[in-house]
Amino acid sequence: MAKVVVIGAGFGGLSLGVRLQARGYQVTLLDKQAQPGGHALRLEMGGYRFDMGPSLITAPYLLEELFQLAGRSLSAYLELIPLDPYYRIYFWDGSYLDYTGDAERMKAQLAQLSPGEEKAYDGFMAHAKAFYQAVIEEGLGARPFGWKELWSFLPAALRLGALRSAYSLAAQYFRDERLRFTFSFHPLFIGGDPFLAPAVYQMIPYLEKVGGVWYAKGGMHAVAQALARLFQELGGTLLLSTEAQEIVVRNGQAVAVRTSAGEIPADIVVSNADYLHTVTRLYPEPYRLSRLRERLVQYSMSAFLVYLGLKRTYPERLPHHTIALGPRYRGLVKDIFRRKVLAPDFSLYLHAPTRTEPAMAPPGGESLYILSPVPNLQASVNWEKEKYPYAERILTFLEEKVGLEGLRQQVAVQAFYTPLDFAEQRNCTYGAAWGPEPLLWQTAVLRPSNRSRRLPNVFLVGAGTHPGAGVPGVLLSACATEKALTEAYPLSLATAVTSGRS
């Protein structure tokens, strides 16, 4: 049987593992972490449970598809709960919007915020739908993106204005800066700068609208655990606490992966690890990316995370998901992505899973996760020194601007996660949690491809490759990588290679 070794058990590695195992390949999935899930790890402190990274589930059909492939039903593994509103957005002036997929409720709120602008909602969503149709329904996100795909998409892309910035598309429809934020911030979910990310990423608002925003009982980590269980039930081997050190290459072909636990032979190797980590550390010489080309890859932002176990809840101020905005939008994004400086102000994303599942905290308590987008480690910030004062500023902002009164007195346990942790614990280059930035010149055919250009039997999967970051993007990347891999090495051929060698 063809042996595939996948480095990294993030959503990319897990979902590709399930796909290949279901097709009859023999997959070994290894990860340096002690838990599967990549960014979707779980932190437990004093009875409080936190998702450490992703928390918002969209496009659940992509998960359902994985279980169906294996002849199983998702509901036997996971309980998904729809959220409404999807999130609340607190604007800089104290006003707020409960963002939902319900067009009428959205329009009523837009009319209150900026009378007359509710009329633009349907037009904007129709535009977002057109992007969604190209990427999702016509399958551009689910197959390797080559020049053929580019030529077929280009006429529609030009007609729809897919190559302009996400913000400029929002500005075409809305005048009020609060609404421009509401309908342009989505690229931030996938590590993109709304003022530079191509407007095609504006398909996300439609993807949310049509598929909903969901919570998995037990949190996002429960989704990773379910996929890991499914993978193992299909006969896959999961090796945790095992770090890949190098892909072993002989005669231009990968033949094994050298790990902290010894060498694992392979007919095909897939990396779900960070892109530059893969091509500059795991690839051996002379296959590594040159220093010059390495410097040309633009990496996304990072995040500073605070996990607070609270003795009380704040249901009146915090629904399940909340975005709390500071005074600046364009300037702050510029500080994070382009100037790469730690700004004095910030905007936050908050996750309060206890709103939907009280058991995520001890009785009456709240497990509150706070994410502040920050520049990656190309900025000169001493996070060891900076994390305490930065967290203090966040707490002050939450008490004074978001109305979480007496927050400091309610803290039972707390932990931080900084860009340094992303770099050291998850091998994220520059501590950039979303991989290569989704810029026009790092999108589609210009993004690292799902099959290595240097080593024919090496493939890439996950946020760093096509179509990009975010759990749905990463699940789609597994479809694209599966296509590339199975076309290049159909089971019969891959098996012949194995038996020829043994």
Ligand X SMILES: Cc1cc2nc3c(=O)[nH]c(=O)nc-3n(C[C@H](O)[C@H](O)[C@H](O)COP(=O)(O)OP(=O)(O)OC[C@H]3O[C@@H](n4cnc5c(N)ncnc54)[C@H](O)[C@@H]3O)c2cc1C
* Interaction pattern, residues 471-490, with ligand X; x per rule: CB under 6 A: xx-x----------------
Query: Is 391 among the residues that bind ligand X (CB under 6 A)?
Result: no
The minimum distance between CB 64 and ligand X, in angstroms, equals 16
Query: Is 289 among the residues that bind ligand X (CB under 6 A)?
Result: no
* Interaction pattern, residues 298-337, with ligand X; x per rule: CB under 6 A: -----x-x--------------------------------
Nearer to ligand X, 39 or 180 (CB): 39
Amino acid at position 180, single letter: R
Q: Which of 128, 444, 469, 476 binds ligand X (CB under 6 A)?
A: 469
Query: Is 436 among the residues that bind ligand X (CB under 6 A)?
Result: no
Nearer to ligand X, 12 or 212 (CB): 12
* Interaction pattern, residues 231-260, with ligand X; x per rule: CB under 6 A: ------------xx----------------
Question: Which 50-79 residues touch ligand X, going by CB under 6 A?
Answer: 53-56
CA distances from 142 to 90, 160, 447 (A): 35, 21, 14
Query: Is 470 among the residues that bind ligand X (CB under 6 A)?
Result: yes
Helices (H) and strands (E) in the chain, counts: 16, 20
Query: Is 466 among the residues that bind ligand X (CB under 6 A)?
Result: no
What does the alpha-carbon distance between residue 314 and residue 312 come to, in Å, rounded to a whole number? 7
Query: Is 375 among the residues that bind ligand X (CB under 6 A)?
Result: no
Ordered DSSP codes for 3-44: EEEEE--SHHHHHHHHHHHHHT-EEEEE-SSSSSSTT--EEE
Nearer to ligand X, 12 or 161 (CB): 12
Query: Is 431 among the residues that bind ligand X (CB under 6 A)?
Result: no
With contact defined as beta carbons under 8 Å apart, do 111 and 176 qualify? Answer: no
CA distances from 473 to 28, 185, 414, 461, 480 (A): 23, 17, 31, 10, 10
The minimum distance between CB 118 and ligand X, in angstroms, equals 27
∠ at Cα 281 (276, 286), nearest 5°? 105
Total binding residues toward ligand X, as defined by CB under 6 A: 37
Structure tokens at 409: 């007195």
Query: Is 433 among the residues that bind ligand X (CB under 6 A)?
Result: yes
Span interacting with ligand X, options 9-17, 110-118, 334-342, 394-402, rule CB under 6 A:
9-17
The minimum distance between CB 334 and ligand X, in angstroms, equals 21
**Residues facing 99 on adjacent strands:** 87
What does the alpha-carbon distance between residue 458 and residue 6 come to, in Å, rounded to a whole number? 10
Query: Is 19 among the residues that bind ligand X (CB under 6 A)?
Result: no
Q: Which of 2, 4, 6, 8 binds ligand X (CB under 6 A)?
A: 8
Query: Is 277 among the residues that bind ligand X (CB under 6 A)?
Result: yes
The minimum distance between CB 114 and ligand X, in angstroms, equals 28
Q: Which one, of 122, 120, 79, lies nearest residue 102 by Cα? A: 122
Using the CB atoms, write b or e for 173-187: b if 16+ within 10 Å. bbeeebbbbbbbbbb
> CA 54, 55, 61, 67 torsion: positive or negative?
positive
Query: Is 31 among the residues that bind ligand X (CB under 6 A)?
Result: yes
The minimum distance between CB 434 and ligand X, in angstroms, equals 6
The minimum distance between CB 462 and ligand X, in angstroms, equals 3
What does the alpha-carbon distance between residue 450 and residue 459 come to, in Å, rounded to a whole number? 6
Query: Is 228 among the residues that bind ligand X (CB under 6 A)?
Result: no
Span interacting with ligand X, options 25-33, 63-71, 331-339, 389-397, rule CB under 6 A:
25-33
Ordered DSSP codes for 231-290: HHHTT-EEE-S--EEEEEEETTEEEEEEETTEEEE-SEEEE-S-HHHIIIIISPTTTSPP
The minimum distance between CB 293 and ligand X, in angstroms, equals 20
Structure tokens at 180: 């421009």
With contact defined as beta carbons under 8 Å apart, do 48 and 259 qualify? Answer: no
Cβ of 395: how many Cβ atoms within 10 Å?
17
Span interacting with ligand X, options 179-187, 374-382, 384-392, 427-435, rule CB under 6 A:
427-435
Question: Which positions lie near ligand X, rule CB under 6 A?
Answer: 7-13, 30-33, 38-40, 53-56, 243-244, 272-273, 277, 303, 305, 371, 426-427, 433-434, 462-463, 469-472, 474
